[in-house]
Amino acid sequence: MSRGPGEVVVGVDVGTTATKVVGFGLGDPWRYTAVREYPLERPHPGWHVQDPLRVRGAVEHALAECVAAAPLGTRVVGLSLSTAMHGLVGLDADLDALTPVLTWADGRSAAQARELRDGALAAAVHRRTGTPVHPMTPLTKLMWLARHDPGLAARARWWAGLKDWAVAGLTGRLVTELSSASGTAMLDVRERAWDPLAVDLAGIRVDQLPEVVATTTVLPLAPDVAARVGLPAGTPVVVGAGDGPLATLGVGATAPGVVGLSVGTSGAVRTLAPGPTTDPDGRLFCYALTDDTWVVGGAVSNGGSVLRWVRDLVLPDAGPGPGERDAELLRLAEDVPVGSDGLVLLPYLLPERAPLWDPDVPGALLGLRAGHTRGHVVRAAVEGVALQLAAVVDALAGIAPVHAVRATGGVFRAPLWRHVVAAALGRPLTMSGGVEGTATGAAALGLHALGRASDPLTGLGLLAPPGACAHGTSEPVDPADVATYAGLRAALPALVATFATAADALTPSVTTGTGNTWQPVATAPVGLRE
């Protein structure tokens, strides 16, 4: 029987509503996961921000818990980071936050995105940067700030991303890395340098953006942070990559024709490519994993968050924990047939990304009848998300054949999610060995950066427990269900287009505010040793 690992590598996954820190034993099946949650705040309609101090505190607390859980004598060989992409935070010269983190979900810059998309600039930006123009991007957020809060824009010494903020908190050094930078819509992906056209559109200077380093760059853990989390000063910190590319690696979607699918707050479908690749229709993004490995795909803004919205709407008094509440909610849909008896939920609660890239289309329940129940709404929500993911798979299939899909995400613990997504895709769906695909990918990249693996895929194979890149369980599907969803997929574009026209008359104008009302709370350093 194992006495525990002699060495551990730690994957740090900083997400939209929680930070997950996972310790992986090397040569041993030991694994430990620590999670710290924080709210996605909505100070104005359309705004979705994080308090950067709470995020930083969550990272330290989760890391300290994971380190403390390791068996006595275990050595942490290094940390490797993943964060949600497209965040933006303004910093002063001392690297203190002047703004909240404007997350990927923040839609305040819809008008700026629309201006670019109405002209020729959006296509040019997409070609040069690999990122479709959308309110998610730091580019359009900076355009909004220049117009609505020029005083703040003038005070900021630096404009950074969530990854840059996390790395600075752990190491004291402000840098960005190729992966996160490639999701800003301001990086020339072929030159691997900030794009002058996009930076000029953003209304800032190149010297206000961090230095772009390789995703395998290693920095030392700062002494004060090390003391708080229980690690030696100078412990290697691998800057890592964005959550999307790392999730693709983490689920083992590395073979031609195999795509990785993840569902968290949002959702995404991605496949690896040997270099920057853009699709001619402008429906897909292209982000870096390493300098010579890139990820092509599309993200949907509305994933698990849609079911949480439905849960709060139809089952507000469910069980005490999120897991219990979700299980109780999904039980309502157990007897609802495929297709929800004609009820269709368009899941555009947040400004939608792929494949529409249209932030203005609102969500809707269509086909509502007296016979529909709460269970129908629940199943229609799951089906609505699944059909959006299927549309992204179809877009990827337009570039290269898609033979199989590997999935990760907490929602796939539920049989309903697994069955609906598999049938909607109409392709084999294989669950990864665990739900922490992003943290797994971060740890694998970290092993490569630390010289423990010749490449990230080899690093994946070194992680314990076995199965990080092995085939997990496959979800069987009924051909009749596949046919039903294929019909819905074919009808969906016309349905969305028709509703979008009607929605113009139904949707009230949204006031987005004219200033930044967030103020950092004066706090003592995060205490971890109560």
Hey, what are 244's tokens?
């999307």
SS3 category, 236 = strand
CA atoms within 13 A on the CB side of 40: 21
Reply yes or no on whether the pLDDT at 50 is more than 60: yes
Burial class of 292 by CB neighbour count within 10 A (0 to 12, 13 to 18, 19+): exposed
- The pLDDT of residue 360 is 83
Residue 86 pLDDT grade (very low, low, confident, very high; cuts 50, 70, 90): very high
Where are the chain's structural domains? 7-244, 304-403+488-505
Q: How far is CA 135 from CA 46, 70, 116, 117, 473, in A?
A: 10, 41, 11, 11, 37
Q: Which helix (H) or strand (E) holds 162?
A: helix 162-171
User: Which segment of 159-173, 234-248, 309-323, 416-430 scores lowest on mean pLDDT?
Assistant: 309-323
Reply yes or no on whether the pLDDT at 510 is more than 90: no
Q: How far is CA 252 from CA 48, 431, 451, 504, in A?
A: 31, 10, 20, 42
SS3 category, 163 = helix
If you average pLDDT over residues 59-81, what whole number do you get?
A: 97
What is the pLDDT of the chain when averaged over all its residues? 90
Q: Could you tell me whether strands 429-431 and 404-408 are parallel, antiparallel, or unpaired per DSSP bridges?
A: parallel
CATH match for 7-244 among 3.40.50.720, 3.40.50.300, 3.30.420.40, 3.40.50.2300: 3.30.420.40
Closest CA to 294 of 311, 314, 279, 274: 274
Residue 472 pLDDT grade (very low, low, confident, very high; cuts 50, 70, 90): low
- The pLDDT of residue 512 is 44
Same fold, 7-244 and 304-403+488-505: yes
467-492 core/surface letters (b: 16 or more CB in 10 A; e: else): ebbeebeebebeeebbebbeebbeeb
If you average pLDDT over residues 490-511, what whole number do you get?
A: 77
CATH H-level, domain 304-403+488-505: superfamily: ATPase, nucleotide binding domain (3.30.420.40)
User: How far is the C-alpha of 236 from the C-alpha of 342, rounded, in Å?
Assistant: 54
Closest CA to 66 of 5, 6, 11, 14: 11
List, in sequence order, every residue forming a beta bridge with 346; answer none if it has no partner: 364
User: Which segment of 215-219, 289-293, 349-353 scores lowest on mean pLDDT?
Assistant: 349-353
Could you tell me the pTM of the whole model? 0.86
Residue 32 pLDDT grade (very low, low, confident, very high; cuts 50, 70, 90): very high
Residue 364 pLDDT grade (very low, low, confident, very high; cuts 50, 70, 90): very high
Which tens digits make up the pLDDT trace of 382-396?
999 999 999 999 999
Which tens digits make up the pLDDT trace of 388-444?
999 999 999 988 899 989 988 889 989 999 999 999 999 888 887 555 789 999 999
